[in-house]
Amino acid sequence: MNSRRQFLGKAGAATLGISISGIETLSAMNSAPQKLMEDRVLNVAIMGLGSYGTRVAKAMESCTRAKLVGLISGSPEKVVAWREKYNIPAENCYDYGNFDAIKNNPAIDAVYVITPNALHAEQSIRVAKAGKHVICEKPMAINAKEGKEMVDACREAGVHLLIGYRMHFEAKTLEVVRMREAGEFGKPLFFQGLSGFVIGDPTQWRLDPKLSGGGAMMDIGIYSINGARYMLGEEPIWVTAQEVKNNPEKFRDGIDETITFQMGFPSGAVASCLSTYSMNNLDKFYLNGTKGFAEMQPSTGYGPIEGRTDQGPLVAEHVMHQTTQMDEMAKLIFENKAPKVPVDGEEGLKDMVIIDAVFKAVKTGEKVSLV
């Protein structure tokens, strides 16, 4: 029977004028484009060569799917130093005035925008209009209106907009998400997020409302907002918030020092969070359910992340977060590989809507609806 089936298969192929080897060749040709995408390296230009840009560049030295190939900076002296260190061609280097010319540079696939918050929207939209994929550091903008403009511009340009949510690829974080989805904690009831540190130099851009769009909430509080969403697996439906400012000279109008805020979720779960620029040792997530819990401290620092659940310690190899992030973003762009926790512009926009609501709740003293 098998020999008869093989004979008929060969006869049919011969009738069509196609040899068996030809069929195999066609099959290989069809799979070749996918294989090419799986091997393709994402060529990235970093915009903003400050401390975090430096961290990303260092992390990318260990990437297998992403490579630093270009620079965009307003500091010529930094460009010179980085060119020498990373062997960047002169034709791949730009300043903030002329970087629209990347449109004509096929050596660059994407730009990672790592500049002050207030510059993100305008710069990201320019990158999109130049036809390059956008990776933007969080927060994606200074408010939801700007975030929506970024999402729309990238969609219109047909490019990806990704937000630098490195924790969405971190192994211990993803294990907690897996356990929650598997029901190992039972019904989630409560989340606590503590995010803060004592900020230093009072002249830095993070304490300038025109550049930052806010204080601790924009910088560190967003981790608790985002963490509550992926730890509980729901979107909040209301927010309340209170602000404390003990040092108005350092934290002037438009710069929040400390905000405590609460969020309610459709299931009845609640989140209680704190964002501050005036206290150290605050980097903790706690998730409590009807059957168990997860506790992480540090929960969002550069690592290693430490944590435990009611079942024991969380164990995973520590890899530089930005290394994993950039490799996984390359797969997302070239292979449409969806991450467990989204990192697209819509994800970033959700956080901006909540941040806007937190600031409104502080100002009005009222519960702000998110639905």
Per-residue pLDDT of the chain (371 residues; tens, 9 = 90+): 444 444 334 444 443 344 445 445 555 555 555 556 788 999 999 999 999 999 999 999 999 999 999 999 999 999 999 999 999 999 999 999 999 999 999 999 999 999 999 999 999 999 999 999 999 999 999 999 999 999 999 999 999 999 999 999 999 999 999 999 999 999 999 999 999 999 999 999 999 999 999 999 999 999 999 999 999 999 999 999 999 999 999 999 999 999 999 999 999 999 999 999 999 999 999 999 999 999 999 999 998 999 999 999 999 999 999 999 999 999 999 999 999 999 999 999 999 999 999 999 999 999 999 99
Residue written as token pair 């150290």: 280
Residues of the chain with CATH 3.40.50.720: 42-163
**Which pLDDT score is estimated for 30?**
56
Fold of the domain built from segment(s) 167-318+344-369: Dihydrodipicolinate Reductase; domain 2 (3.30.360)
Q: What is the pLDDT of residues 60-70, one digit of tens each?
A: 999 999 999 99
Q: Are 72 and 99 in contact (CB under 8 A)?
A: yes
Confidence (pTM): 0.90
Q: Alpha helix locations (H) across the chain? A: 2-15, 20-39, 51-60, 76-86, 120-129, 144-157, 171-181, 209-212, 216, 222-232, 321-335, 345-364
Tens digit of each residue's pLDDT (9 = 90 or more) over 157-182: 999 999 999 999 999 999 999 999 99
Q: Domain 42-163 class?
A: alpha beta
d(CA 236, CA 160): 26
Q: Which residues are catalytic?
A: 138, 223
Q: Which residues of 83-107 are buried (b: 16+ CB within 10 A; e: fewer)?
A: eeebebeeebbbeeeebeebeebee
Which residue ranges does the chain devote to CATH 3.30.360.10?
167-318+344-369
- Contact of 48 with 66, CB cutoff 8 Å: no
CA distance 111 to 132: 7
The residue behind tokens 């996918």 is 34
